[in-house]
Amino acid sequence: MALIIPVRGIEPKFGANCFIADNATVVGEVVMGKNCSVWFNAVVRGDVHSITIGDNTNIQDGAVIHCTYKKAKVVIGNNVSIAHNAVVHGCTIEDNVLIGMGAIVMDDAVVKSGSIIAAGAVVLGNTIVESGHIYAGTPAKKVKPVGNALQDVFSRTATNYIKYAKWFTEGNMEY
């Protein structure tokens, strides 16, 4: 069973139709919108500051969402996909964003809507990621516009993860 733990008397709150995997951990001051999912071995740790997550957001396997005590909270928008083993720490992720596998987004960074953070990228603290662009590398730099070919990646990935969650909650194994 997932670890859902209050901290300092504050319990996580979940919107309708959220899926929390059996070995995921969600603690403290976390408010999650509807149709969200937190996958296997992911940690959403709102013990030292608040974490607010919009609708249709997925936090994939091994990802860590955390804050900095009294300094940097986490705000994540709607239709956000945070891929496997990513770290999102004390920052703002706006709507329709993809954070790639193993990427790191640090304190006080802002990832604007419609952006992609490439796998393995490191977005340094206080960085503003320009809307509609792909950022890659260490430190992450703007490499190109998202472009027409990738415009549906945000809604498609969010919708797919809602479907995958239903496989675990409703027993619907349709592919």
Residue 58 backbone class (left: φ over 0; alpha: ψ -120 to 50; beta: rest): beta
Q: Both tokens of residue 3?
A: 């670890």
- pLDDT tens digits for range 106-140: 999 999 999 999 999 999 999 999 999 999 999 99
Q: Dihedral (C-alpha) 56, 152, 90, 125: value to the nearest 10 degrees?
A: 180
Q: Which secondary-structure segment (H or E) carries 156?
A: helix 153-169
Report how far Cα 86 is from the mean position of its chain's Cα atoms: 8
pTM: 0.96
37-52 pLDDT, tens per residue? 999 999 999 999 999 9
Interacting residues of 169 by C-beta distance below 8 A, sequence separation 6+? 19
Percent of the chain residues topping a pLDDT of 90: 93
What does the block give as tokens for 169?
């909650």
* Mean pLDDT, all residues of the chain: 96
Q: In degrees, to the nearest 5, what angle opens at C-alpha 135 toward C-alphas 130 and 119?
A: 140
Q: Which domains does the chain have, with CATH numbers?
A: 3-169 (2.160.10.10)
